Structure 1
Amino acid sequence: MPLPSPQLRELPRQASCAVRIRYEELLEFVTDLFALRGLAPERAATAAEALCYGDLTGLSSHGLANLTRLYLPLFDEGRVDPAAEPEILADRGAAVLLDARRALGLWAAGLAMDLAVERAARFGIGLVSVRGGTHLGCAGHHAARAVRGGMVGIVASNCGGQRIARPPGGRLAMLGTNPLSVAAPAGEHHPFVLDMSTTVVPTGRIRAAARAGQPVPAGWLADDQGLAVTDPAALDRGEAHLRWLGGDPATGAYKGYGLGLVVEVLSALVGGAALGPAAAALDGDGGPSGRDDDIGYLVAAIAPGTLRPQAEFARDSAGLFATLLGCPPVSPAEPVRYPGWLEGERARAALRDGVPLDPARYAELAELAAGTGLRLPAALGGEN
């Protein structure tokens, strides 16, 4: 999948005066926050790593921006059970059906991938179908857990009963953004990590632009007549809706819509989670409807080493992505990359120089620190 232009990839992820804090201190702070909400220490640490991954890799719309907007309210509203014990409902060896029982998705999706990896080591493939889930954050983070064991990871997630996007030609929202991720080893280079919504962008990118007071490119949103909308706040005002990958029907919107349905089938229909296209969707008014409860995940790990020598797979995987990096670019200023490379570079820089946070995010952390008694991570070069 070709990467978007650098301008689109950076909008609105970078702040001109970012506050940088050490990753370890950020991770500890978020871990402690989750622990205060009742998560066991190990679960809190896993969840914090999943959330901080967004800011570490530059995917800030899915990082700490969601801490006070999404995750903490899930606890406060009782939609997440911090003490939930996921239950295996069916176990067929290579395939498992797991009820997450409203566990925090940032942790539960990692648990599901670790189980899939364990089964893949025994059977060549491990597939864990999850119902009763909550928002999992960056799907790519969970898919990449398989790469640590030299495997290929796959994560697909619907949005539970939440409906955001309309079928092409439809008047009512029927599906969520339905993310899909695939991760694979790339030898000495950053792992391949495709993490994509099946809409042009996820809602987090739209709302991040709205918070920053920036317009979005034509093609992300459309009004009821199909005309482009560049005001990101129009989404939550009900004056615009997300477009599918491909844009117009003539340029491939049915492919994005079809991929959204693929994710719905794999993540929710297979395991019995809530469906976006349920009867209640027909009572909608054209805008978003429903809630993202009872989310479904399909989590899978593939172990090529059970089918052919692992060393051969590792050699070929490294060669595949090295060859892509060696492709001559049209413009020397824009070398050829692959999904996951840029995020890997950002993470490397953030681990060295500090994780960049928008000042507004840092102010939110300061408020949380003041309200909980936790120590606010120090801004590098400053005092707190």
Structure 2
Amino acid sequence: MSNYLINATELREFVNLALRRVGYSESDAEDAASILIWASLRGVDTHGIRNLVSYYVETVRSGQIDPQAKLVITRETQHAVRINGNSSTGLVATTHAARAAIQKANETGVGLAAVYNSHHLGPAGFYANLAIEHAMLGLCASGHFFGRGFDIGVAPINGLRAMLSTNPFAFAAPCGTKPPFVLDMSTAVTTVNRIQSYGQAERPIPNGWAKDLAGQPTNDPNIGTILFPLGGETETGGHKGVGLSMMVSILSGVLSGAWANCSDGSEYDQPTMGHFVAAIRIADFMPVEEFTAAMDAFVTAIQSSDRLNADEPIHYPGSQEHATAIARTKSGIPIDERLRNELRLLAESLSISGDLFG
């Protein structure tokens, strides 16, 4: 399928305008657009511009997301804050949470923020990465637990119902002259978005990604609705992936208060997504320059180790994405024909003029 290259600045302006046209405030639209473009620039296409219509526009039109939602702090201490997202998109709510955590870390050394009653936050790495700009370590977790099961997601080991979302976890640390360390990972072997993208491209998914409802491994993205946890089956460490996924749900769902008892009180459920962000001030442990110099030495040692393929570099989390962002800033963000048509139709429906999408 052919790809079209779209200038990142022009694409950001389009996303910003589209979000404002469907009801987002100017500042929230600017934040949301920056996050989606950040993901697409870094090659994290499954969490970037691809999701604009389905996750952040159609959900507003259907009433699932309130673009004018007022975030409410429901509990606050010296180090922590709990926020009711009031049906806001996670792009907005988690940005506010990350800024609150960073502010508290600036004041006390450690800042924690949890959000409930919210929705998809996009790339978790973005929020962890925000802390780097303030000489801090950043952490972000986001999850959804389905008390009665869901159409697609992760099942516990020996389970046949999707009970957990792919529950991403991100951690970021600054380096000196090297690209920042930014780990952004699903606690499943892949993401729902990636499964869907294979289906849209009519491509079989790789072995070890998903099972069907009968618990049989499949390469069909249309029936592969039970995603393997990180590690796969029990024999290859899948129980560890389930444990990590549950840890994310505890941080983002239980601790945030996103959970709720089912009506009969017999089951735990979580009606909306929850998010968790933490920021840690490096200077409380050592001079920032000492830390970043050590990080440079650390990742350089990793990259200088013996290679299996001498023609391929050794990457660490964040390094390849950093290089991709530099390249795409120059060449443009690639979008396929399906997404191009989807964005063109969105522009028409919102009376946005121009020929950005042909």
Q: Which amino acid aligns with 1:307?
A: F
Alignment partner of 1:98 out of 83, 100, 103: 83
CA distance in 2, matches of 1:348, 1:27: 16
Q: Please state if 1:313 is matched with 2:320.
A: no
Number of the residue aligned with 1:11: none
CA deviations over 1:44-101 (Å, ceiling 9, x no partner): 0100111222321112121222122222121012121111121111111111111111
Number of the residue aligned with 1:359: 337
Q: Please state if 1:348 is matched with 2:326.
A: yes
Residue 160 of structure 2 contacts residue 215 of structure 2 at CA under 8 Å; is this kept in 1? no
C-alpha displacement of 1:226: 4.2
Number of the residue aligned with 2:170: 181
Residue 21 of structure 1 contacts residue 377 of structure 1 at CA under 8 Å; is this kept in 2? no
Residue 258 of structure 2 contacts residue 271 of structure 2 at CA under 8 Å; is this kept in 1? no
Comparing both structures, which one devotes a greater share of its residues to strand?
2
CA distance in 2, matches of 1:274, 1:24: 39
When structure 1 is superposed on structure 2, of 155-164 and 323-332 the one drifting more is 155-164
Q: Please state if 1:33 is matched with 2:18.
A: yes
Kindly indicate whether structure 1 or structure 2 has the higher relative contact order, using CA contacts under 8 Å at least 6 residues apart.
1
Q: Please state if 1:68 is matched with 2:50.
A: no
Residue 146 of structure 1 contacts residue 152 of structure 1 at CA under 8 Å; is this kept in 2? yes
CA distance in 1, matches of 2:200, 2:163: 26
CA RMSD, 1 decimal: 2.2
CA distance in 1, matches of 2:350, 2:305: 51
Instruction: Indicate how the Cα distance of structure 1 residues 279 and 250 shifts in structure 2: closer, same or farther if over 3 A, else same.
Output: farther
Alignment partner of 1:193 out of 147, 168, 182: 182
C-alpha displacement of 1:225: 5.3
CA distance in 2, matches of 1:279, 1:138: 33
Q: Which amino acid aligns with 1:300?
A: A
With structure 2 as the length reference, what TM-score do the two structures score? Answer: 0.93
C-alpha displacement of 1:244: 0.7
Q: Please state if 1:339 is matched with 2:317.
A: yes
Secondary structure at the aligned position of 2:23 is classed as coil
Alignment of 1:246-325 (within 5 A): 246-274=231-259, 293-325=271-303
Alignment partner of 1:242 out of 227, 244, 248: 227
Alignment partner of 1:211 out of 171, 191, 200: 200
Number of the residue aligned with 1:140: 125
Alignment of 1:10-21 (within 5 A): 17-21=2-6
CA distance in 2, matches of 1:176, 1:371: 31
User: Which consecutive residues of structure 2, in runs of 5 or more, have no partner in the other structure?
Assistant: none
Number of the residue aligned with 1:45: 30
Number of the residue aligned with 1:7: none
CA deviations over 1:135-172 (Å, ceiling 9, x no partner): 10111112111111121110101125474221101232
Residue 79 of structure 1 contacts residue 293 of structure 1 at CA under 8 Å; is this kept in 2? no
With structure 1 as the length reference, what TM-score do the two structures score? Answer: 0.87
Residue 29 of structure 1 contacts residue 377 of structure 1 at CA under 8 Å; is this kept in 2? no
When structure 1 is superposed on structure 2, of 19-28 and 45-54 the one drifting more is 45-54
CA deviations over 1:161-203 (Å, ceiling 9, x no partner): 4742211012322211111111111222221111111111011
**What count of residue pairs does the alignment treat as equivalent?**
353
CA distance in 2, matches of 1:318, 1:377: 44
CA distance in 1, matches of 2:145, 2:207: 28
Alignment partner of 2:161 out of 140, 153, 172: 172
Instruction: Indicate how the Cα distance of structure 1 residues 96 and 377 shifts in structure 2: closer, same or farther if over 3 A, else same.
Output: farther
Instruction: Indicate how the Cα distance of structure 1 residues 314 and 363 shifts in structure 2: closer, same or farther if over 3 A, else same.
Output: same
When structure 1 is superposed on structure 2, of 358-367 and 42-51 the one drifting more is 358-367
Instruction: Indicate how the Cα distance of structure 1 residues 171 and 279 shifts in structure 2: closer, same or farther if over 3 A, else same.
Output: farther
CA distance in 2, matches of 1:246, 1:63: 26
CA distance in 2, matches of 1:373, 1:74: 19
Instruction: Indicate how the Cα distance of structure 1 residues 340 and 278 shifts in structure 2: closer, same or farther if over 3 A, else same.
Output: farther
C-alpha displacement of 1:126: 0.4
Number of the residue aligned with 2:41: 56
C-alpha displacement of 1:320: 1.6
CA distance in 2, matches of 1:354, 1:49: 15
Number of the residue aligned with 1:222: 211
Q: Please state if 1:157 is matched with 2:139.
A: no
C-alpha displacement of 1:293: 4.8
Instruction: Indicate how the Cα distance of structure 1 residues 204 and 193 shifts in structure 2: closer, same or farther if over 3 A, else same.
Output: same
When structure 1 is superposed on structure 2, of 126-135 and 364-373 the one drifting more is 364-373
Q: Which amino acid aligns with 1:203?
A: V
CA distance in 2, matches of 1:250, 1:114: 41
Secondary structure at the aligned position of 1:331 is classed as coil
C-alpha displacement of 1:43: 0.9
C-alpha displacement of 1:224: 4.8
CA distance in 2, matches of 1:144, 1:328: 29
C-alpha displacement of 1:318: 2.1
CA distance in 2, matches of 1:322, 1:181: 21
CA distance in 1, matches of 2:213, 2:14: 43
CA distance in 2, matches of 1:377, 1:60: 22
Identity of aligned residues (%): 33
Residue 29 of structure 1 contacts residue 376 of structure 1 at CA under 8 Å; is this kept in 2? no
Alignment partner of 2:99 out of 110, 114, 122: 114
CA distance in 2, matches of 1:104, 1:166: 25
Instruction: Indicate how the Cα distance of structure 1 residues 269 and 377 shifts in structure 2: closer, same or farther if over 3 A, else same.
Output: farther
